[in-house]
Structure 1
Amino acid sequence: MKLKPAALIALALVAAVMVVVRTDVPALADDGRYSAEIRRTEYGIPHISAKDYGGLGFGYGYAFAQDNLCVLASWVVTLRGERSRYFGPQAKSDEPVRPVANLVSDVYYKSVADSGVVARLLARRAPLGPTDELRRLVDGYVAGYNRYLERTGVANLPDPTCRGKAWVGPITATDIWNNLLDLSRMTGIGGMKEYVVGEAAAEGPERRPAAGSNAWALGRRATRDGHGMVLADPHFPWNGIRRFYQVQLTIPGVLDVSGGSLYGTPVVQIGHNATMAWTHTVSHAQRFTLYQLDLVDRTSYRVDGRTEPMGRQEVQVTLQDGTVVDHLLHTSRYGPVLAAGQTGKVAYALADANAGNLRAADEWLAMARARDLTQLRAAQSTYQGMPFVHTLATDAGGSAYFADTSMVPHVTDAQAERCGKPSPIPGLEEYVLDGSTSACLWGRDRDAVVPGIFGPASRPRLTRADYVANSNNTFWMTNPSAPLTGYPRVFGKARTELEPRPRVSLDMIAQRRSGADGLGAPGFTLETLQATVQGKRNHTFELMRSDLPALCRDSTLTTSAGKRVDVREACRTLREWNGRATLDGQGAILWREFFQRLGRPTKPGEPVYSPWRVPFDPERPVATPRGLKSDDPVVRLALADAVAAFQAGGIPLTLTPGQAQHYSSIPIPGCTEGEGCFDRVRMRGALGADGRYPEVDTGSTFMMAVELTPAGPRTRTILTYSLSADPSSPHHTDQTVLFSRGQWVTERFTEAEIAADPKLRTSTVSG
């Protein structure tokens, strides 16, 4: 059975010669044998050591499978384009950031596999292809996962999620390479699958990714004892393949790194070694551009006056009943041809800077071996593989480093102006360029490892002795004392309004440096760093609370439905609230429901309303905007509607985060991105009539505070959703309980610290 294609579509960078990548051959070591030691300390945290990279990967794959086999097994089904076969074509995929229909997912991932892009990258030498060390690590990881599955058996898996399921089986090295490539593409073509497959929603893509983060690198002038310190606070999904796994990886004399590693990746993405620590935040620089094609007909287009045929790729997807569905895909020299915006005269192609990027894992591995910032910068310049993140780091010398070394299309401001075209997709902020002339192709820097991206010398960077910080703002306000300007707008805009979360981040640092936060003498220590980042400050409330008395002058206000409501209790609740979204914060949820109504357009098609009394001033970016337009009818209406909603549901106005927010039935503190909370939370859905939000699905994940002392690193961590996704595991929510209480785990890094754990469990695995 064949179905007509939904649109003319394609996969980025598909070569003329198609290579089918096998996914049925398990990886083996050269000598056919691996060995590793797995030591588990409190909360099940694994410390894996081996004599070589193959053994290290084997131990890691084995330990990870013990805790989270079902998550990776499901994701392998996704990467192979087989979800329709096992779960049905219309069910939603297991992609944690932007789920799509299984059929859409399968067409996309089959396209990736059939294109041969991974095989071509594996055939290249480093740095364009993987190093020998990374290849051995991946092979060992796969063998370790498969060894655990072989020993346990599908029918005996402890996790009921996949116990006895037909879709569980051995994985291959190709699966892991595909996962690494997909991670790089996450904020590019990977987030545009519906547009590639022609099943896009009419309202346009969700441009702001669910992933976010806070990061501080504190230099010797910001810390009380002159030590370098790092705060890592990545905001990634709490479910699925983009969760972090906490691990220490050791090859004596070669590698010793501890930190957070995304599921299905055998390297640490955020972490530290003995003398250096680093973290990342998602950069909102552009990852791709669209190209407007000048069509000759439905299967060809013009470039420089010459006709070029589109490439063709036929993708087959098997459904549950055995039916095979065919989709015809087309590509251009730029990348896939999208369904959106097609007319008889034009179509649009997507060019992704990460379409062929497998370099990130080698870069992380080299960073883990780096002894100082000089070696870290050298690692980043060698591989140039960071897909979509800023890097913030410090070393034992106490220098703080920031750089946006992520993959950014080489489009200058002049080229964007000269080549710009209207966007065919509502809400799309990425550049649309003229595809009819080669003059609009991406440029190239001499120091770029691949063509089409900016090289290291062209990217925003800053090194300081005090601090650098980022909370998903652009590079501009990395440190207000040294604003970064003069970079192409494709990296982001300077002199633009900071959102409340970056503002509270910078204010927290300023108050700790001055000692104005009530935590003692100025300057950071490990203990005051922990206390600062878990303060649960709601910055919009702080910036507007002085105008609340004027808003509350009247005892009754009118709702949008014309009903009069008494707001005296609500005003009293807000007046008595301390502005912190702690578990017992009476007023925190009321403020959220009020504040969120302020940002909604009053009529369809109208711009988002600004409630700020003092507007943004680029000369005072940290202090503005501020204040509340307390006399504005829109503000008064928002308070009335919020109070009416609480009354209609019989919900107390004193509802607290501990009562309204939860994960696996555990109360979760914190507030949302828009409110200006540092360690934010997100729930997909509104406050229910029972006074509860849907379960938290995004927020702080692997939090790490590191102090690099002359005696070695002192580290506190918390993995907010805990180590294991298996509901039967004792480590399914044990750290979540700590996070709920504002507690941390004292990391065990040295041999002496690990050996001193009274709960230490040691095992040797081989195969």
Structure 2
Amino acid sequence: MRRLGSAVASLCLVSGTAALLPAPASAAAEPDGKRVGDHGYTSQIRRTEYGIPHVLAHDYGGLGYGYGYAFAQDNLCQLADQVTTLRGERSRYLGPTETTADGTPNLASDTYHQGLRQAGTVRRLLDRPAPLGPTPELRRMVEGYAAGYNRYLRDTGAAHLPDPTCKGKPWVGPISAMDIWNLVYDVNGAAGATALKQAIATAAPPTAGKATKPTKPLRGATAARGAGAGGSASTPSTPSRRTGPRRDDLGSNGWALGRDVTRGRDGMLLANPHLAWIGGDRFYQVQLTIPGVIDVAGASIYGTPLVEIGHTRALAWTHTTSYTDHASLYRLTLTPGDPTSYLVDGKAVPMTRRTVPVTVRGADGKPSTVTTTLYTSRYGPVLAEGWTRTEAYALRDANADNLRSMNEWLAIGRAQSVAQLKQAHQTYQGIPWTYTMATDTTGTAYFNDSSAVPNVTDDRLKRCALPGEDHDVAGVLDGSTSGCDWGSDPDAVVPGIFGPGHQPRLTRTDYVANSNNDSTLTNPSAPLTGYPRMYRAGVPLGPRAQLGLQMIAGRRDGTDGLGTPGFTLPTLRASMLGNRNYTAELGRDDAVAMCRAHPVLTATDGTEVDVRAACGVLAAWDTRDDADSRGAVLWQAFRTQVGGRHPWWRVPYDPAQPLTTPRGLNGDDPQVRRALADAVRGLAADKVPLDAPIGSVQRWAGIPLPGCSGGEGCFNVVNASPTSGSGGATRPNSPEDYASGSSFIMATELTSQGPRTRTILTYGQSANPESPHYTDQAVLFSHKRWVTERFTEAETESDPQLRTTTLHG
């Protein structure tokens, strides 16, 4: 990696940048960036418009120090809340029955996290040398980040914090590097153990004479970031995601465009992740620079000290949530008469027990201790769901040993080509649960599912998936035989996952794209085939993925109404925020014809509903979901009523025609007609006009929002809390309501003169409601306005709003 850093130096060194930094507070930096002594951090934070920090330092410790300080200025309360969760102290301060941001009761969350800390899992991973453990540079950066956060807290004082959310709260205090590593581990486990922490924390064997009825656990343990699991020790239930968006919306869109489809014959990239707008899943925008070593701009998940989606001078990359399973469920055959041991190859194996005490604040404010026993198998933690006297289920998470992700993102942040990004993938194999799309100045576009995937070969899947399970996915595996253990690849950095030789990948000079569909149609001109079934090939494209590919095709041949064929930065931005609704494009005209042919329709309860006004609203609608579009609310309510109850389309999905089916609204079907009647009546009950602009009912802190769900066919995904009525529209959002969707949007062109980038952080840099950057970019998003990134030294220094803070620590 030092050789890589040296090679990059000539590309990312900005003349005169180093001179802007004051001399270090103590001994000079060594050649590899290591500081002499334990402290001596020096950093400079320069904030440009919309509060975007550009952190400049001599070394990695100083870079982390500046970043931690800047992030604390904007979001200390949010990170303090996350640290309280990760330390398992929510019940101590907030009581056991309140819930975390993902809907998990505090006591279950605390039990899970305290158990993890007691097991020493993260500490053991930190004790490994790189590439499995953190590199020395990364360790210093994390230590600096925690120190920078603590410096801001010390300078400001908990009693004087500007955010009323945690001002003066007893759970606010200094953090450690270990807190950040625990956060990284938690993020990496989002598609596995993190999503099932309640099921892990509440698992207990059935009591004598009180067998519980088994239910089917969550298939493959796949859960989107932000998911929570339900259930209890006494009443198993299928884990369910929290109220909020569907799985197809908790993901992203990503395009890497090559020289054959760009007007400038260079590389361009569109990053459009979809995550929650509240809690720790938010993004924070930053530029991190050590002159001659690293110069990277983009966004980070809250509390992680690196850029995870972004660009350097010559490389840009993004991620979308992989459709692949990243964990497996194993069914345990229990030893007769002992529900806490199980059989493997005919031999009894006792479950490991760990007693976990949690301090709980009572209703009277007095503390007490609640003790829980956690159970673990050879595969991983045992789950509450389905545990009877004869069987139980355990989770094996492919990211259970993963802190490597941060090594990989640090290496990518220094890379200047697709080839160097590929090398980072090969070296660390740490991307936890996402696809990667990237491009560079040569106009090479690259796709890879390098995420951690259980090594279950097709043959093993056929032998080991339990009867009735879908053999195209992990399903539930037989835990009674060692022959169903995960395998190992010689090129895998750790045992149990597929190595790079098995991963779906594609290099093109036109494009690669993904909208959380499987890897097969990354580019329809070159379908990806032949990789293991665990990568979930052949899943039908949803309307969002179909629309994304249609948008690229239309821009390539110039049929999208945006002018001369080929992508430019303006047409890339226009495509992103065109707010097309693909299901409306396919079915609106048929819906109008149905409506006009049947001006009075019968609702589900038998009520006759006059729908003539709805016919006119739909006919006049432009099939867009701009904030001021009239008709989008009615279409959303109509489609919500149809839902999955009955076929919506006259021509169903055909795998042989994945881009052109389904199509044709099935207006002859009585249930489709009833859905329109129900939608019209429901909106009236909610006092929402049929022609209400979508932005009048879909809002964030009072700001009208464009977009709709991915299932409805919007590329620009936005979800807000649903109304209680039957109309299916969304209600005005307050910051306390749930919202998700387009988060950090980045459009980048990698020219020979340097990157040209436009961004929108849809909610703003700060979660503090008193901050000027709480919703300033939500206003931009509402009006389709972008921020011009200031990447070069000259661009940063020319900002009239520039504010500079110099730190010594």
TM class, shorter-chain normalised? Answer: over 0.9
In structure 2, the residue matched to 1:34 is 41
Quick check: 2:709–2:717 contact (8 Å CA) kept in 1? yes
Are 1:617 and 2:654 matched, yes or no?
yes
Which segments of 5 or more consecutive residues in structure 1 lack a partner in the other structure? 1-27, 602-608
In structure 1, the residue matched to 2:222 is none
Q: TM-score, normalised by structure 1?
A: 0.93
Q: 1: distance between equivalents of 2:171 and 2:712? A: 42
The counterpart of 1:56, out of the listed 45, 50, 63, is 63
In structure 2, the residue matched to 1:15 is none
In structure 2, the residue matched to 1:436 is 480
Tell me whether 208-217 or 521-530 shows the greater mean CA deviation: 208-217
Q: 1: distance between equivalents of 2:343 and 2:592? A: 64
Quick check: 1:444–1:453 contact (8 Å CA) kept in 2? yes
The counterpart of 1:517, out of the listed 537, 560, 571, is 560
In structure 2, the residue matched to 1:249 is 288
Q: 1: distance between equivalents of 2:400 and 2:345? A: 25
Deviation per CA, 1:554-606, whole angstroms, max 9, x where unpaired? 110010111111111101100110100011111000000001111143xxxxx
The counterpart of 1:161, out of the listed 160, 165, 182, is 165
1:311 is aligned with what amino acid? T
In structure 2, the residue matched to 1:502 is 545
Deviation per CA, 1:425-471, whole angstroms, max 9, x where unpaired? x9x97421111111100011100000000001100000100000000
The counterpart of 1:302, out of the listed 343, 352, 359, is 343
In structure 2, the residue matched to 1:19 is none
Q: 2: distance between equivalents of 1:131 and 1:634? A: 59
Q: CA deviation at 1:493?
A: 2.3
Q: CA 1:354 to 1:191, structure 2 compared with 1: closer, same or farther past 3 Å?
A: same
Q: CA deviation at 1:548?
A: 2.3
Q: 1: distance between equivalents of 2:126 and 2:609? A: 66
2:462 is aligned with what amino acid? E
Quick check: 2:696–2:732 contact (8 Å CA) kept in 1? no
2:92 is aligned with what amino acid? R
1:155 is aligned with what amino acid? A
Q: 2: distance between equivalents of 1:211 and 1:667? A: 21
Q: CA 1:209 to 1:156, structure 2 compared with 1: closer, same or farther past 3 Å?
A: farther
Q: 2: distance between equivalents of 1:287 and 1:29? A: 41
The counterpart of 2:519, out of the listed 459, 464, 475, is 475
Quick check: 2:249–2:709 contact (8 Å CA) kept in 1? no
The counterpart of 1:275, out of the listed 305, 309, 314, is 314
Q: 2: distance between equivalents of 1:705 and 1:399? A: 16
> Match of 1:477, SS?
coil
Are 1:77 and 2:84 matched, yes or no?
yes
How many residue pairs end up in the alignment?
727
Quick check: 1:399–1:464 contact (8 Å CA) kept in 2? yes
Q: 1: distance between equivalents of 2:392 and 2:598? A: 57
Tell me whether 484-493 or 320-329 shows the greater mean CA deviation: 484-493
1:318-717 superposed matches below 5 A:
318-320=359-361, 321-421=366-466, 430-494=474-538, 496-552=539-595, 553-601=597-645, 609-686=646-723, 692-694=731-733, 695=737, 697-717=739-759
2:84 is aligned with what amino acid? V
Tell me whether 691-700 or 122-131 shows the greater mean CA deviation: 691-700
> Match of 1:505, SS?
helix
1:760 is aligned with what amino acid? L
Quick check: 1:662–1:696 contact (8 Å CA) kept in 2? no
2:59 is aligned with what amino acid? D
Q: 1: distance between equivalents of 2:560 and 2:440? A: 26
Quick check: 1:36–1:58 contact (8 Å CA) kept in 2? yes
Quick check: 2:100–2:106 contact (8 Å CA) kept in 1? yes
Q: CA deviation at 1:55?
A: 0.4
> Hey, which bits of structure 1, 4+ residues long, moved more than 6 A?
none
> Match of 2:375, SS?
strand
In structure 1, the residue matched to 2:226 is none
Q: CA deviation at 1:111?
A: 1.0
> Match of 1:476, SS?
coil
Q: 2: distance between equivalents of 1:758 and 1:647? A: 50
Tell me whether 288-297 or 400-409 shows the greater mean CA deviation: 288-297
1:750 is aligned with what amino acid? T
Q: 2: distance between equivalents of 1:488 and 1:365? A: 29
Q: CA 1:205 to 1:487, structure 2 compared with 1: closer, same or farther past 3 Å?
A: farther
The counterpart of 2:772, out of the listed 710, 730, 740, is 730
Q: CA deviation at 1:665?
A: 1.2
Q: 2: distance between equivalents of 1:305 and 1:665? A: 62
In structure 1, the residue matched to 2:802 is 760
Q: 1: distance between equivalents of 2:197 and 2:755? A: 42
> Match of 1:759, SS?
coil
Q: 2: distance between equivalents of 1:209 and 1:228? A: 27
Q: 1: distance between equivalents of 2:753 and 2:791? A: 12
Are 1:240 and 2:282 matched, yes or no?
no
Quick check: 1:687–1:693 contact (8 Å CA) kept in 2? no
Q: CA deviation at 1:277?
A: 0.2
1:162 is aligned with what amino acid? C
> Match of 2:299, SS?
strand
Q: 1: distance between equivalents of 2:627 and 2:451? A: 37
Q: 1: distance between equivalents of 2:583 and 2:435? A: 26
Q: CA deviation at 1:727?
A: 1.2
Q: 1: distance between equivalents of 2:287 and 2:38? A: 25
How much identity, in percent, do the aligned residues show? 56
> Match of 1:37, SS?
strand
Q: 1: distance between equivalents of 2:696 and 2:322? A: 34
Tell me whether 28-37 or 238-247 shows the greater mean CA deviation: 28-37
> Match of 1:163, SS?
coil
2:543 is aligned with what amino acid? P
Q: CA deviation at 1:140?
A: 0.2
Q: CA deviation at 1:343?
A: 2.1
Tell me whether 196-205 or 442-451 shows the greater mean CA deviation: 196-205
In structure 2, the residue matched to 1:287 is 326
Deviation per CA, 1:703-731, whole angstroms, max 9, x where unpaired? 00000000000000000000011111111
Quick check: 2:248–2:711 contact (8 Å CA) kept in 1? no
Q: CA deviation at 1:610?
A: 1.9
Q: CA deviation at 1:77?
A: 0.3
Deviation per CA, 1:265-301, whole angstroms, max 9, x where unpaired? 1000000000000000000200111111121122222
> Match of 1:338, SS?
coil
